[in-house]
Structure 1
Amino acid sequence: MTDSRTDAHACPPAAGPRRTLPLWRADGGPHGSRSWATCFYRCGNACDKPEPNRTDNPHVQDVITTALRRRAVLGGAAAGVGTVVLGGLGSAAAAGTPEGRGGGHGHGNGHGRGDRVSTDGFRPVAPNTDDAVTVPPGYTSAVVAAWGDAVLPGAPRFDVHRQTPESAAQQFGYNNDYVGVLPLGRSSALLVCNHEYTNEEIMFPAGAYSADEQRRIALASHGMSVLRIEKGRRGGWSASRDRRTYNRRITGETPFAVDGPAAGSARLRTSADPSGRTILGTLNNCAGGTTPWGTVLSGEENVNQYFGTAGEIPADRAEAFERYGISAEGERGWHLTWDRFDVAKEPNEPNRFGWIVEIDPYDRDAAPVKHTMLGRFKHEGANVQLAHDGRAVVYMGDDERGDYLYRFVSAERMRRGNSRWARRHNQQLLTRGTLSVARLSGDGTADGEWDGTGEWVPLTSDRESFVPGWSVVDVLVDTRLAADTVAPTRMDRPEDVEPNPVNGRVYAALTNNSNRGTAYPTDEANPLASSKVRPELGAPLEDATGNRNGYVLELEPGRDRTSSRFTWRLFLVCGDPEAPETYFGGFPKDQVSPISCPDNVAFDSVGNLWVSTDGNALGSHDGIFRVPVAGRSRGKVEQFLTVPIGAEACGPLITDGDQHVWLAVQHPGEGGTFAAPTSLWPHTDRFPRPAVVVTWKR
């Protein structure tokens, strides 16, 4: 990797043999390559706890097992289907961004010239455990922004031994996740990034800070960053010296406006905010999306871990708290520092987190907003597709084992143009409309495909609840419980759900479910019952069960994109290509890269799917993969890069006429400590620093 960063405290990479991670427990474990620290700090060890969804609603695995049983029966006939040419349904074209600067899914500024990663051939990166961002020959990468870098004017120089809440609120936060790049001009743009969570084990030197100080710094290190960046002469990007015009830090204490039907309701009121209309901060922001009107959506995910109490859970909240994973223990102990995180003292405070938030990166003075109309659950992110009549269609996943896929359709249409009037209208699109949840069914016909049909079951509009006995506000605040009553399909950790702007189809990353084969039965027709891997990919797991490698669903939303009916098919069944259960869109399995645990998805200008992974269960580090969705190469998975020790690949994003691939390298070195790090990436200090990276062809 080529890294253009400089630092007074820089040190060379650690000498010695290549480091490796303890990838699995002796019994296989549920976490893949994730360290114990990632599971604890990121989601409060959700996989080790009972699944919050205790309903008898059908599970997606039942549907997929039926579809794949047909595949087994059809045998060679089904296998001969090969590739499918996807019909062009038009582009979800973006309009209405400032100064006509594009927008849509964050694909950057203009088409550029030169090599395009969308169509260029590259030598796939082999599975590895290097402490580096490893890219194909001919490509290079560089860090654009890392934890502690200055964001606001006057921000102090980062010093890991002199961190304060005040300095953290002016610097690039910790554990960057979502990456958005919004254009400003030919050679400048705005980088928007989430800061999902903190890991105190590797953030703080032992004994240097009290527990209370660590919590206060951590709260300031959550949230989002907006930075102006500039394109260099040699192809890379770097932070601009102009920090005044657009740069912004949103933290766990930034005031948010609340809109939609639940705004001002009794369910959102607290002693500090009796109006229920102003919420301090955003937490555990995972993925997101760039809207066609030039704003950024961000999903609040594992917010349950920030709440606890030394007292007792209020009896009238016990059912809802259990469904959302909130317990008295409070893994992070924040209730010991702030009363608002103590659920016995402020039982409504948890209701103020778990939303989709929207920010306008072009207006640093505009208050960020929490949209109650999009429902409250563990949002991975939100992505917008425009219906043919101009209404906004938003897709969302609830990232928990056994939870659901959601869709929102706005009541109003997007208005074109860049006027202040049009932008104000468009930023209200997510306040009125209809929220629905997905129910999938297998297609019982022997049509040679592994597919089915689906239905969007309405939960509520902004004016009328469709759940008997539930008010609109209650459906939106307790969305999981409301959805349980209408028998949607339980999914295996639905994470990123994004529409493809070229073919109009929607792709959902279903990361994994380690309880497949225990809590959920399997049989010989179920392709996801094992996780056997070749020795060269890592220690074999001959007896492990569970959907450890995940899959990608491809949904056809219908011609007008607002229909209540859709069709679906399996696009990828991930894992070792030599494993019999894997499937890669019909492409020959001996010609693809191994892929495990899809997390986020993105698209380039010709509609190729790009997949980032989290928790690779095949013995390699996580990475980013390119996968064509059409033509003779449909399903050809090729690994474009891998990330360092302990890290997760977040993003990805393809910009500048497909010349640049962006990613967030999250939690490098997780599993180690500040005193004994397992990674030193990006090799600028004697401890790891999460960072945003851009890759391009030399």
Structure 2
Amino acid sequence: MRMQLPLISVSAGSAGSSGASESHPGGRSALTCRFRCGDACFHPAPNTSANEYVGDVIAGALSRRSMMRAAAVVSVAGAAGAGLASPVAAAENTTVRGRTPSKAARGLRFTAVAPNTADTVTVPDGYRQNVVIRWGEPILRGAPAFDPEKQSAAAQAGQFGYNNDFLALLPLPGERGRQILVANHEYTDEVLMFRGYDAADPTREQVGIAWAAHGLSAVVVEEDRRSGKLTAVSRHPLNRRVTATTEFRLTGPAAGSALLKTSADPTGRKVLGTLNNCSGGTTPWGTTLHGEENFNQYFAGAGRATDKRYGIGAGASERKWERFDKRFDVAQEPNEVHRFGYVVEFDPYDPHSTPRKHTALGRFKHEGATVRLTRDGRPVVYSGDDERFDYFYKFVGSKRMKHGTGRAVREHNLSLLDEGTLYVAKLTGDSPALEIDGTGKLPADGEFDGSGEWIPLVTATGKGAVSHVEGMSAEEVLVFTRLAGDKVGATKMDRPEDIEPNPHTGKVYVALTNNTNRGVGTNAPADEANPRSANKHGHILELTERWNRADSTTFAWTLFLVAGDPNDPATYFAGFPKDRVSPISCPDNVAFDPHGNLWISTDGAQLGHHDGLFGVATKGERRGELKQFLTMPIGAETCGPLVQDRRVLVAVQHPGEISGASVEKPASTWPDGPGKIVRPAVVAVWRADGEDIGV
């Protein structure tokens, strides 16, 4: 029996307002809240399911750690003091776990940057930086130089897009010292883009510019081997812009479904554009993946929408795009919104290829999509749904990757994400529920940990797809994936964002940014996997899949890091001494360096200083040693971290985006100084002596 889809819930308040207050509950400014996610946190959480929380199901077994170890960890966690902890340069000669290592973890041997509020990118002593590329710089032939007073949609379509997020660097064979940089452009902030912007009455040209500023950019970059500087190569044949009007191909089991057909596309297989691309991943076969996140905010007229769990507004949208293209009006095109919220695959080596949206990976607010291979060469993709009380997922492909460079090999590999099984995570704690009181106090066994399972939702084959969710067809599972997660009892998490497997150990790390609604009112209470009520600082979950196999359906889990002021007893850094770490709040995107250290970028830090990039050791004697590597300018978020042997890349997103800011009244002068418009940009950082990062 097919399910009856409930009507959409209507967002409270009128679209276009700046939010209920000047401060976002998760730490962002009201301006960021308004343009990035459509004031999501000012509306009721979309997940109203009655799923069990982690504390409802007790494994009954003691922790894998001994009680002696637990007592030591509790002692460390309980240490408290006044003010923010001061980061230690390298924590040299510190006794850790009974030994006295001589140096910090390899890859983290730099002087930690102190928390600050400077209007610049601050890097460690002995390091240098440069702006690789800014919003509006021309990258295609015929594109003009950037002029914010004379910007046009045609110009923007050939220029680097706005609000860069995910970054990837791919090799460029045959061109020494060059690589291909791929960047997401998550969203536009028209108040900071256009002088005299009228949010109630945007012009057709302004809307066209915004369409062109969304999407992706591919641009070849070149290294200056003498200085370490990285610069964009304008007008290279592989440079490309993908925008909100670029043609995409829908693939996988839901492609062609009646749920995806529109008046402009009766086939249900072709869609224009990609929106709100947040994080992503790089595949072993040389493509990039991009997660469509807060797509709901671009659509208006929710009265005829059928998917209540995605937060489509009832009135006009913030940007008023529906005035210029009816596909953004759900009342006129009820299925258009179903064509967003997927993982996009992009081939940077073929500037004429059609990007794909993979329906087999499900539809939700994908923060990103990261890939590793099973032992027999099949792809596994991890992705989080960035919403309060929503879930994280895994897709296990059924086809093996092929090696080679021919067209047939390329086409085979581009189909790998169309066949396989999509799973959602369910976690079980191993401590009594009474020991999880919402304060962040460790349970008696000394750590927040437990077991988990991957619950199958749908399996896609070359001949069709089979739903594993009672009452839902395979197509419904893939288009209304959140509802499928509700029905199978997935675990409600505190905004699961980026998910990355460690290439050295195989452990998987899940960034949970925050959830100020946790345990508040009638919302789900704190549990062992989300142990703090009104969680404003977030935490990081570490998964160990059974037998360390990517295709396993069970796993063990532990909280690797509980973020916040290290002087707060509710914080935890994998047992590392808390007087030897940097303060951190709101983990978002994560990446690994060549040594297996986890690098964490933050979004909306709640400790009174700017967002930044942090490195933390995941193994060995220094496990849990966390150090701040850089900080952001005023109003900016740290995005897209990429850590190579000799270079770190970050995307400086939405600089100057604080309440009350505008083109006329800028809050930041980064990156070009006073009198210049504030511009999101990509920054490269390297050691002045040319040696490897942090060694």
Give the match for residue 611 of structure 1: 600
Task: Report whether the alignment pairs 1:281 with 2:273.
Answer: yes
- Specify which of 381, 397, 410 is matched with residue 423 of structure 1: 410
Identity %: 53
Give the match for residue 217 of structure 1: 209
- Quickly say closer, same or farther: Cα 1:464–1:358, change in 2 above 3 A: same
Question: Contact 1:305/1:326 (CA < 8 Å) preserved in 2?
Answer: yes
Question: Contact 2:58/2:430 (CA < 8 Å) preserved in 1?
Answer: no
Task: Report whether the alignment pairs 1:236 with 2:236.
Answer: no
- Quickly say closer, same or farther: Cα 1:423–1:118, change in 2 above 3 A: farther
- Quickly say closer, same or farther: Cα 1:69–1:580, change in 2 above 3 A: farther
Task: Report whether the alignment pairs 1:626 with 2:600.
Answer: no
SS in 1 for 2:467: coil
Moved more, 661-670 or 329-338: 329-338
- Quickly say closer, same or farther: Cα 1:74–1:56, change in 2 above 3 A: farther
User: How far did residue 66 of structure 1 move?
Assistant: 11
- Counterparts of residues 96-111 of structure 1 (less than 5 Å): none
Q: Distance in 2 between matches of 1:328 and 1:447?
A: 51
User: How far did residue 389 of structure 1 move?
Assistant: 1.2
Q: Distance in 1 between matches of 2:412 and 2:241?
A: 25
- Specify which of 508, 511, 519 is matched with residue 509 of structure 1: 511
- Counterparts of residues 392-541 of structure 1 (less than 5 Å): 392-444=379-431, 448-462=446-460, 463-519=465-521, 520=523, 529=532
SS in 1 for 2:466: coil
Task: Report whether the alignment pairs 1:173 with 2:173.
Answer: no
User: How far did residue 27 of structure 1 move?
Assistant: 9.9
Give the match for residue 292 of structure 1: 284
Q: Distance in 2 between matches of 1:673 and 1:514?
A: 28
SS in 1 for 2:360: helix
Task: Report whether the alignment pairs 1:313 with 2:306.
Answer: no
Task: Report whether the alignment pairs 1:635 with 2:635.
Answer: no
SS in 1 for 2:303: coil
User: How far did residue 517 of structure 1 move?
Assistant: 3.7
Unaligned runs of 5+ in 1: 1-24, 84-115, 530-544
- Quickly say closer, same or farther: Cα 1:339–1:175, change in 2 above 3 A: same
User: How far did residue 548 of structure 1 move?
Assistant: 0.4
- Quickly say closer, same or farther: Cα 1:641–1:234, change in 2 above 3 A: same
Give the match for residue 180 of structure 2: 190
Task: Report whether the alignment pairs 1:687 with 2:681.
Answer: no
Deviations 1:119-159 (A, max 9, x none): 25111111100000000000011111110001101111111
Q: Distance in 1 between matches of 2:58 and 2:181?
A: 39
User: How far did residue 626 of structure 1 move?
Assistant: 0.4
SS in 1 for 2:154: helix
Q: Distance in 2 between matches of 1:365 and 1:344?
A: 34
Task: Report whether the alignment pairs 1:571 with 2:560.
Answer: yes
- Quickly say closer, same or farther: Cα 1:77–1:677, change in 2 above 3 A: same
Q: Distance in 2 between matches of 1:334 and 1:64?
A: 49
SS in 2 for 1:653: strand
Unaligned runs of 5+ in 2: 1-18, 78-103, 433-443, 689-695
Question: Contact 1:592/1:637 (CA < 8 Å) preserved in 2?
Answer: yes
Task: Report whether the alignment pairs 1:344 with 2:342.
Answer: no
Q: Distance in 1 between matches of 2:539 and 2:344?
A: 27
SS in 2 for 1:389: coil
User: How far did residue 421 of structure 1 move?
Assistant: 2.4
User: How far did residue 31 of structure 1 move?
Assistant: 3.1
Give the match for residue 119 of structure 2: 131
Q: Distance in 2 between matches of 1:396 and 1:175?
A: 21
SS in 1 for 2:143: coil
Question: Contact 1:612/1:652 (CA < 8 Å) preserved in 2?
Answer: yes
Q: Distance in 1 between matches of 2:184 and 2:402?
A: 28
- Counterparts of residues 330-369 of structure 1 (less than 5 Å): 330-369=317-356
Q: Distance in 2 between matches of 1:67 and 1:34?
A: 40
SS in 2 for 1:563: coil
Deviations 1:247-290 (A, max 9, x none): 00000000001110111111111111111111000000000000
Question: Contact 1:646/1:667 (CA < 8 Å) preserved in 2?
Answer: yes
Q: Distance in 1 between matches of 2:311 and 2:146?
A: 36
SS in 2 for 1:262: coil
User: How far did residue 468 of structure 1 move?
Assistant: 1.4
State the one-letter code of the partner of 2:123: V
Q: Distance in 1 between matches of 2:596 and 2:264?
A: 47
Question: Contact 2:69/2:446 (CA < 8 Å) preserved in 1?
Answer: no
SS in 1 for 2:209: helix
SS in 2 for 1:121: coil
SS in 1 for 2:565: coil
SS in 1 for 2:564: coil
Question: Contact 2:58/2:431 (CA < 8 Å) preserved in 1?
Answer: no
Question: Contact 1:118/1:605 (CA < 8 Å) preserved in 2?
Answer: no
Q: Distance in 2 between matches of 1:395 and 1:401?
A: 18
* TM-score normalized by the length of structure 1: 0.84
Question: Contact 2:637/2:652 (CA < 8 Å) preserved in 1?
Answer: yes
Q: Distance in 2 between matches of 1:526 and 1:276?
A: 39
State the one-letter code of the partner of 1:275: T
Q: Distance in 1 between matches of 2:134 and 2:454?
A: 40
Deviations 1:604-626 (A, max 9, x none): 11110000000000011000000
Moved more, 365-374 or 684-693: 684-693
- Quickly say closer, same or farther: Cα 1:387–1:620, change in 2 above 3 A: same
Question: Contact 2:63/2:445 (CA < 8 Å) preserved in 1?
Answer: no
State the one-letter code of the partner of 1:197: Y
SS in 2 for 1:624: strand
State the one-letter code of the partner of 2:581: V
Give the match for residue 7 of structure 2: none
